[in-house]
Amino acid sequence: MWRKVLENKQAKILWDFQIQADKMVVANQPDIVVVDKHQETVVVMDVAIPSDSNIRKEEHEKLEKYQGLKEEMERMWGMKATVVPVVIGTLGATPRPLVEDPSLKEGGTAQEGEEESFFDICVCICLLSGPSSLSPVLATVCGRDPPGSIHSSGDSMFLHFSSDSIISGRGFNASYSKGCGGLLHVDRGSVSTPRYPQNYSPHLNCSWHVMVTPGFRVSATFQSPFQVQGYGTQCSSGDYLEVRNGPDASSPLLGTRLCGSSPPPLLQTTDNHLFVHFVSDASNEGNGFRLTFEAHSQACGGFIELDDNDPPGYITSPNYPENYPQNIDCIWVVTVPNGESVRIDFEDDFYIEPSSSCIHDYLELRDGPTLNAAVVSRLCGNTRPSTQRSTGSSMLLRFRTDTSVTHRGFKAKFSIATCGGTFIGQSGEIHSPGFPGSNYPDGSICEWSLVGPTGHYLTLRFGTFTLQSTPGCTADYVEIREYDASGHVLGKHCGSALPASVDTSDSFAFVKFVSDSSGNAAGFSLAFEASVEACGGELNAPSGTISSPNYPNLYPHSRVCRWELRVQAGRRITLTIDDLRLEGSGTSCAFDYVDVLNGLADDAPRLQRFCGTVAEGTQVHSSGNTMAIVFYTDASISNGGFMASYSSEEPAGKSITLEVAHGLQSSS
């Protein structure tokens, strides 16, 4: 079994480790976290092996998934954090990673450079569209698989090769040639005819695909001079330029074909893709064009249609993640095919001016395409909302602000609804598809993540329950787990007997509903509610008090409470037991117990384990400024619990108290 924490003077590596944050962060357990203590940087890595066709989608999802954790790390730890998705297709394909602000020290310029081929690169080559290190990044490539051709947007390209001090390789061999067109996967850049503003060449057929961050639109602005030698109605003869609202030549035109000598007005896409196509004939060339593009989040309203094969999209408040403007009224209508419904999931930060009944600034969702449709919810405040759904094939979203306070706003992902989703809050209710109006369909797989307030447990209680009954629940069933899909199973149910309520040990639960290909029933409804009392948490004050849930009355069964104490550097923590009455189990403390750990890591040394009764005033000391206390209870006998206080008056030192076979030993 590998260790979850590896640490020396230079770095710390956390493997599959849950990061504790001050605010609710749903994705807080990446595969690997690397902390560079000298550089004061953090790298968050998460691994995925999707099909080769989904590697870019998976990469974007990883970046979005851990954005909240990245921001919390930077705020809490005071270090620069970076999210690095490690995505490898099942057949070995990898996405081309992008670098936004490379620190370039030296390099070369390939004038008129267009195509590059690489093999066996040691660390990385960074290619920039322009003559210097300040030019927009085209791509960063590494590894052993040669990428496809890479094109600059103009007549120069800057290459920067970097290697570290550890592993070397055979290097690379690249050829370059003149050309035009290519993929530009950046949020800001330019596209121009070769040699602009000098005359372009005859017989050109150039296509550029611009792709910016999902959830943003593309603004395209033409510079002067603009001279495309085309003639006739809608530029039917000679040279022409087409700008399309989408990723390829089949996308709709933004306006009409362009030619002549007057720069076109600003053009704007409806999503994050722009396609530019330029053709020149055999004679009479002109200066050409230069188009600068930029991703922006000023989109406010619109009509969005999703087909069955379309990927999810994003709606954001104007300027997001910066503050939205005052006095705006934005309306979006999302429509999906008949017989399906709309699903809205909120991601990253959510902050709309809070007020009673959301009367100032608000986001309103309506169950239909008009303002007369029933209200699904009206949202404001700084708590990220749960998944929202329509009952029909359309949903209207209206974002209104007044003339005073503004905040960051929202980012909402829209998609065709399948059952399942994430529900966040003190309480809520989920149900099987079609409930209560009709039986659930065959072939359903629904997964819900339930998230309550940190430090509270959840109680899950079925209101109605009628499923197909089979021995061992092998056909249709509802399964409840702790935490997530790999957590401890709390119950698996089928048939028509109402299952008993169940409590989780923490603030997370995972519910999965499965129906097979034959036989169905009315389904179920399931409510969840967070406990009133908190259990565990992070304490940063120089002194304080902790106690078991419901103290001094009987503590609940099946709980795991963890308190993490952190005091001023250079001090150590003294924990004093004021009262401790737990289920007794001799020296083994196998049933209910309190563990005191010398640090916050999962594998921190255990200073002491308490159970049964302990004399008032018993003390335990840490060696440094951190200590963790974990309270565990089993499913049976309970007692009065415990209360303990902590202080940090003593300086940190080497002398600590460690548990040994049958007693205590003081080491120094």
Judge contact between 402 and 361, C-beta under 8 A. yes
Residue 592: what pLDDT? Answer: 93
Instruction: State the amino acid at position 539 in one-letter form.
Output: L
Residue found under tokens 């602009």? 196
Rounded distance between C-alpha atoms, residue 187 and residue 215, angstroms? 12
**pLDDT tens string 576-616:** 999 999 998 888 898 999 999 999 998 899 999 999 999 99
Q: Which helix (DSSP H) or strand (DSSP E) does residue 190 occupy?
A: strand 188-192
* Torsions phi, psi for 588 (to 5 deg): -75, -25
Rounded distance between C-alpha atoms, residue 435 and residue 433, angstroms? 6
Cα of 605 vs its chain's centroid, Å: 33
Q: Which helix (DSSP H) or strand (DSSP E) does residue 411 occupy?
A: strand 411-416
CATH 3.30.70-classified regions of the chain: 5-93
Residues contacting residue 39 through CB under 8 Å, at least 6 positions apart: none
Rounded distance between C-alpha atoms, residue 388 and residue 48, angstroms? 27
Rounded distance between C-alpha atoms, residue 587 and residue 567, angstroms? 31
Residue 136: what pLDDT? Answer: 66
Helices (H) and strands (E) in the chain, counts: 2, 48
Rounded distance between C-alpha atoms, residue 316 and residue 512, angstroms? 30
**pLDDT tens string 370-399:** 777 889 999 999 999 988 988 778 899 999
Q: Which CATH class is domain 310-418?
A: mainly beta
Judge contact between 363 and 376, C-beta under 8 A. no
Q: Which CATH class is domain 422-530?
A: mainly beta
Residue 92: what pLDDT? Answer: 73
Instruction: State the amino acid at position 91 in one-letter form.
Output: L
CATH 2.40.110.10 fits 536-651, yes or no: no
Residue 154: what pLDDT? Answer: 62
Residues with pLDDT less than 50, the chain: 1, 97-123, 148, 166, 175, 177, 657-668
Whether the link from the prior residue into 552 is cis, omega within 30° of 0, is yes
Residue 119: what pLDDT? Answer: 33
Q: CATH fold of 5-93, please? A: Alpha-Beta Plaits (3.30.70)
DSSP 538: E
DSSP 38: T
Residues contacting residue 88 through CB under 8 Å, at least 6 positions apart: 47, 48, 49, 55, 94
E strand segments, 500-597: 502-503, 508-514, 523-530, 537-539, 544-547, 560-566, 574-581, 593-597
Q: Which CATH class is domain 183-296?
A: mainly beta
CATH 2.60.120.290-classified regions of the chain: 183-296, 310-418, 422-530, 536-651
Rounded distance between C-alpha atoms, residue 245 and residue 240, angstroms? 17
